[in-house]
Amino acid sequence: MQINGLIELQNFMRNYHKEMNWEISGSGYSESRDGLLTNYMLLTTEVAEVGEELRKSFNLTTANVLEGMEEEEAFRLAKEAVKDDIGKELADCLAYLLKFYNYFDIDLETSFFAKMDEVKNRKNKDISIK
C-alpha cells in the first residue's frame, strides 16, 4: 500500500485502529483516561525499543573497532545491521502517535508544519557548527 501524504497516513491509521479495535475509547472520563495512559505507556515502551536498537548499533560499532575496523566503516555497517529493526520500532512509535492525533482530532499535517514553522522562527534556537 502506498500512502502519499500525512493526511492519507492519518486517515489510514484511523481506519486501521478501528478495524483492529485498537482505538482509544472516548466513552467517558475513566475509560478514556485508562486508554490514554495505556497507550502512552505502550508508546514509551516503543521509544525504549528504539533506544535498544541504537545501543545495539553502538555495541556493534565498538566490537568492530576493537577487531581493527575503521570507526566510520564500523558504524556504517552497524547502522545497516539495525536498519530494519529500528524502522519497525519507529513505525510502532508513529502508529501510537497517530492514535493520539486521531483521539484528540488533531490534523497531523497542519499541526506538524505549524510546529516546524514555530521552531524555524524561534529567536532563541540552538546553533550548531557543521
- The confidence band for 68, taking pLDDT boundaries of 50, 70 and 90, is very high
- Residue 60, pLDDT score: 98
In a domain, 129, yes or no: no
Which domain, by its residues, includes 97? 6-105
Region 26-54: mean pLDDT is: 96
- Residue 9, pLDDT score: 96
pTM metric for this prediction: 0.88
In a domain, 110, yes or no: no
pLDDT single digits (tens) 74-120: 999 999 999 999 999 999 999 999 999 999 999 999 999 999 999 98
- Cell readout for 80 is 545497516
125: left (phi over 0), alpha (psi -120 to 50) or beta: beta
- Residue 100, pLDDT score: 98
- Cell readout for 49 is 525499543
In a domain, 117, yes or no: no
Annotate the chain with three-state secondary structure.
Answer: CCCCCHHHHHHHHHHHHHHHCCCCCCCCHHHHHHHHHHHHHHHHHHHHHHHHHHHHHHHHHHHHHHCCCCHHHHHHHHHHHHHHHHHHHHHHHHHHHHHHHHHCCCCHHHHHHHHHHHHHCCCCCCCCCC
- Cell readout for 9 is 497516513
CB neighbours of residue 46 within 10 Å:
19
Q: Please report, for the domain that includes residue 88, its CATH number.
A: 1.10.287
Q: Specify the number of domains making up the chain.
A: 1
In a domain, 130, yes or no: no
